[in-house]
């Protein structure tokens, strides 16, 4: 459960996070700063729940930035502002969990690559607040995601084999979470965004007829690895199938910088949003691009309380990705699985009762009031630019925004 002691209120405001007040006396408690790992495959997450005692204590799948941080009773408005400024010095970054490693024979963990941004965050926070990691117990701190901790040699070796089979895992770090431990269980207090200066220029633009040749080559490059082993590859037949399906209306081209690297096609149903097709060129897969697009589509559907449907070719590993994002199989054809993700209503607009607040925040951020959305974040709330929360089909959209994680790039359908 989130921390709900009456003496504490938290509010989020771009571009920084403000602790709005403390009243009364807080009991001493530990705090920690972590980067949550949201894309951990269910097979590995289940192992961690059984083999890492910290999971039972409420710690999410994570890589530690600094523990212990400042005791909770010392945290006030000024400290939160200072911490937000320090964390914002490190831009949001993509990374992979690439290898199973061990601390002796007692702890099994996954190694992030690159690990330099994690190390830099730790060093910056330590320098700013004088809080050495693990109270200075180690000469060097290694960024890691613990999967098993003193859980028995046989169980840990079996878990290591399972984890290795699911690597690499592609992730994106965009925020640092502060946790506190008022008793036996950790709970989340707030989230502080990493810097945004180096966001990748990933965008969507409406397709035009001149994109047909690119779309054809993209279709063939993405589908051939999955179609050919099952049915063989008939170039003429695939050309006909592509010609029957493709049209510029309703299709968006994915661009990285100024280069076209993929496409997205969606259809609005009576009671759902259908993802007809999403493709990222094989040369660009595995970089966290495809799911950044997919998560943006899901966020938009959630903001309108619409479930999302899609189909995926049997044998395509994208099924694992979809399941991580909340899709479940609802049926099948001879060649495809039919999947559904129910609506998750986490985002809403506010233009009436909170109009004055939105106008003030808009002025502070150099935005129009209608460009802000009111978003619940845990038990706190945040005003964020609409471009960072939702997505408008048929218009150019900047997808290099916060809250996008990507466990992998596949030809999706």
Question: Which residues lie across from 312 on neighbouring strands?
Answer: 337
Q: Is the dihedral of CA 31, 33, 38, 43 positive or negative?
A: negative
Do 41 and 149 lie in a common domain?
A: yes
Q: Per the domain annotation, does 364 fall within a domain?
A: no
C-alpha 87/C-alpha 75 separation (Å) is 16
Query: Is the CA virtual torsion 281, 283, 286, 292 positive or negative?
Result: negative
**CA 65 from chain center: how many Å?**
17
Domains in the chain: how many in total?
2
Q: What is the pLDDT averaged over residues 261-266?
A: 94
Residues 182 and 107 in one domain: yes
Range of the domain at 309: 202-346+390-398
pTM of the entire predicted model = 0.51
Tell whether the model's pLDDT for residue 48 goes beyond 60. yes
Reported as a single tens digit per residue, the pLDDT across 197-230 is 444 578 899 999 999 999 999 999 998 988 888 8
Three-state SS string over 148-174 comes to EECCCHHHHHHHHHHHHHCCCEEEEEC
Residues 209 and 297 in one domain: yes
In a domain? residue 169: yes
* Residue 382 bridge partners (DSSP): 12, 375
Question: In this structure, how many other beta carbons lie within 10 angstroms of the beta carbon of residue 146?
Answer: 21
61: CB partners within 8 A, 6+ apart:
36, 37, 38, 40, 45, 48, 55, 145
For helices 42-51 and 153-165, give the axis angle rounded to 10 degrees: 160
The verdict on 158 and 50 lying in the same domain is yes
Of 219-228, 300-309, 400-409, give the lowest mean pLDDT range.
Answer: 400-409
Which CATH number belongs to the domain containing residue 330 in this structure?
A: 3.40.630.30
Structure tokens at 56: 């039972």
- 254 and 105 inside one domain: no
SS3 296: helix
Greatest mean pLDDT among 76-85, 194-203, 384-393: 76-85
- For 106-142, write each residue's pLDDT tens digit: 999 999 999 999 999 999 999 999 999 998 888 888 9
Same domain, 145 and 282: no
């Amino acid at each position: 459960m989130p921390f709900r002691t009456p003496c504490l209120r938290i509010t989020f405001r771009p571009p920084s996070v403000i602790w709005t007040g403390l009243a009364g006396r807080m009991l001493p408690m530990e705090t920690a700063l972590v980067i949550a790992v949201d894309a951990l495959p269910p097979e590995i997450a289940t192992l961690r729940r059984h083999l890492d005692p910290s999971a039972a204590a409420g710690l999410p799948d994570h890589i530690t930035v600094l523990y212990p941080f400042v005791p909770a009773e010392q945290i006030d408005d000024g400290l939160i502002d200072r911490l937000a400024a320090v964390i914002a010095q490190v831009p949001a970054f993509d990374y992979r969990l690439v290898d199973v490693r061990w601390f002796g024979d007692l702890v099994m963990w996954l190694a992030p690559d690159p690990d330099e941004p994690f190390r830099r965050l730790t060093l910056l926070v330590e320098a700013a607040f004088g809080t050495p990691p693990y109270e200075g117990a180690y000469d060097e701190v290694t960024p890691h995601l613990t999967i098993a901790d003193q859980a028995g040699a046989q169980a840990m070796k079996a878990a290591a084999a399972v984890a290795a089979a699911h690597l690499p895992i592609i992730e994106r770090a965009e925020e640092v979470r502060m946790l506190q431990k008022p008793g036996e269980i950790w709970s989340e207090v707030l989230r502080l965004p990493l810097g945004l200066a180096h966001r990748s220029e990933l965008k969507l633009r409406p397709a035009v007829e001149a994109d047909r040749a690119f779309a054809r080559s993209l279709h063939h490059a993405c589908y051939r690895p999955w179609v050919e082993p099952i049915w063989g590859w008939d170039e003429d037949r695939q050309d006909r199938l592509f010609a029957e399906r493709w049209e510029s209306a309703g299709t968006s081209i994915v661009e990285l910088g100024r280069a076209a690297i993929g496409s997205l096609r969606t259809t609005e149903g009576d009671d759902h949003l259908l993802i007809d097709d999403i493709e990222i060129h094989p040369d660009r897969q595995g970089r966290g691009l495809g799911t950044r697009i997919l998560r943006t589509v899901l966020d938009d559907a959630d903001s309108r309380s619409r479930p999302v449907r899609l189909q995926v070719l049997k044998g395509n590993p994208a099924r694992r990705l979809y399941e991580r994002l909340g899709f479940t199989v609802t049926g099948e054809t001879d060649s495809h699985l039919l999947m559904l993700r129910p609506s998750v209503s986490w985002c809403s607009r506010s233009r009436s009762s909170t109009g004055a607040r939105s106008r003030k925040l808009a002025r502070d951020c150099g935005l129009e009031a209608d460009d802000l959305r009111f978003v619940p974040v845990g038990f706190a709330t945040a005003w964020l630019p609409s471009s960072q929360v939702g997505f408008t089909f048929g218009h150019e959209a900047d997808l290099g925004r916060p809250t996008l994680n990507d466990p992998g790039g596949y030809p999706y359908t």
